[in-house]
Amino acid sequence: MRLTQGAFSFLPDLTDQQITRQVQYCIDNGWAVNIEFTDDPHPRNSYWELWGQPMFDVRDAAGVMFELNECRKAHKGQHYIRVSAFDSTHTWESLRLSFITDRPADEPGFTLERQEVEGRSIRYTTRAYAANRPEGARY
């Protein structure tokens, strides 16, 4: 099951050129671009591991692509990698854009668990199949 989180996730994967253009758009708006990765893609897991530091002073997308390629060297195929853009202007101070750039080849998806509780009520919870295995060995 294809993971759909963040922007563009219903589109085919972005090419490097498209990623570069998106990153340049973020930089031109004055947002700091971050590269994050995780192997626990649960929708509620909003804090992914940060690759390096937020790139506040990079002026050109090539710098971000350089780091993205470094991150791919380390994690491609085993982790999800996403690019996010943080707007530090007062009153925003939050993410403005986030999209997945790389995903594992095989995405087993999520299971929906129904828990029967008092009075025939049901509690739902989702769990990634991959998360059954230990961290680092999931994909």
Partner 1 sequence: MDAVTDAPSADARPFENVVRPPDAIDLRAEFVESGLAAVLEELDTDLVGLGPVKRRLREIGALLLVDRARARFGLQAVSPTLHMSFTGNPGTGKTTVALRMAQILHRLGYVRKGHLVTVTRDDLVGQYIGHTAPKTKDVLKRAMGGVLFIDEAYYLYRPENERDYGQEAIEILLQVMENQRDDLVVILAGYSDRMERFFTANPGFRSRVAHHIDFPDYSGEELEAIGGRILGGMNYTLSPDAEEAFHRYVDLRMKQPHFANGRSVRNALDRARLRQANRLFNGDRPVTVRDLTTIEAEDILSSRVFSGGIDSYPPLKP
Nearest CA to 82 among 67, 60, 92? 67
Tell which one of 1, 15, 90, 121 touches partner 1 (CB under 8 A).
15
Kindly give, in sequence order, each residue whose CB lies less than 8 Å from that of residue 133, ignoring residues fewer than 6 positions away.
none
Nearer to partner 1, 3 or 58 (CB): 58
Q: Is 5 exposed, middle or buried (0-12, 13-18, 19+ CB in 10 A)?
A: middle
In angstroms, the CA 31 to CA 29 distance is 6
Nearer to partner 1, 51 or 110 (CB): 51
In angstroms, the CA 58 to CA 127 distance is 37
* Residue 25 found at the interface with partner 1 (CB under 8 A): no
Going by DSSP bridges, is the β-strand pair 94-102/80-87 parallel, antiparallel, or unpaired? Answer: antiparallel
Tell which one of 1, 10, 12, 17 touches partner 1 (CB under 8 A).
17
CB of 97 to partner 1, least distance (A): 19
Q: Which of residues 67-96 bind partner 1 (CB under 8 A)?
A: 67, 69, 72-74, 76-78
Binding interface with partner 1 (CB under 8 A)? 15-17, 20, 52, 55, 57-64, 66-67, 69, 72-74, 76-78
